[in-house]
Amino acid sequence: MLAKALVRLLRPARVAHAHCDLPCGVYDPAQARIEAESVAKIQEKYQDAENQKKPTESAEDFKARCLLIKEERADLVKHHLWVLWTDYFKPEHLEKHPELHELFWKATKAAGDAKKSQDPKSGQALLEQIAEIDKIFWETKKAA
């Protein structure tokens, strides 16, 4: 009896339903793209370490900093992509765009590749994958 009274007392007056953690408007592939742009830019700077470094540091130290920051940014790309995939996209989006699963898989793999690579081409490939997701994302926003 006490348990039922407690349940009634704690039950919310209204229940809201949403397809994401917060009301729409907080998800955007731009977060992943900005981090991916950082990855690509760092890869470029790494290649030109001698001209990019501070006058007081060695090229090796500059490259080490590049690697550390690039790897952090690549992990953030993966994080932002997975939040978008798991929290924003709904089954009806996948029905309309069955390629979404593969796009996200390829994009997160590209982020992992860019994390391990100093070649700016891998950063560019990551940006291209995110651009594909971005296009579909904005199409779903128009339909909403």
Tell me whether residue 2 is in a domain: no
Tokens representing 5? 């009274």
Tell me whether residue 4 is in a domain: no
Number of domains in the chain: 1
Tell me whether residue 104 is in a domain: yes
Residue 73 in this model has a pLDDT that exceeds 60: yes
Integer Cα distance of 46 and 144 in angstroms: 42
Tell me whether residue 31 is in a domain: yes
Tell me whether residue 9 is in a domain: no
At residue 17, the pLDDT reads 46
Tell me whether residue 36 is in a domain: yes
Tokens representing 16? 């809201």
What are the pLDDT digits (tens) for 19-58? Answer: 445 555 578 999 999 999 999 999 999 999 999 999 999 9
Tokens representing 52? 């990019």
Tell me whether residue 3 is in a domain: no
Closest by CA to 104, choosing from 87, 84, 124, 76, is 84
At residue 4, the pLDDT reads 76
- Over pLDDT 70: what percentage of the chain? 84
* Alpha helices, DSSP H, located in the chain: 2-10, 30-47, 49-52, 59-83, 91-96, 100-116, 120-143
**pTM, rounded to two decimals:** 0.81
Q: What is the mean pLDDT of the chain?
A: 89
Tell me whether residue 17 is in a domain: no
Q: What angle do CA 105, 144, 77 make, to 5 degrees?
A: 30
Structural domain including 135 reads 27-143
Contact 144, 114 (CB under 8 A): no
- Return the CATH number at 105: 1.20.120.400
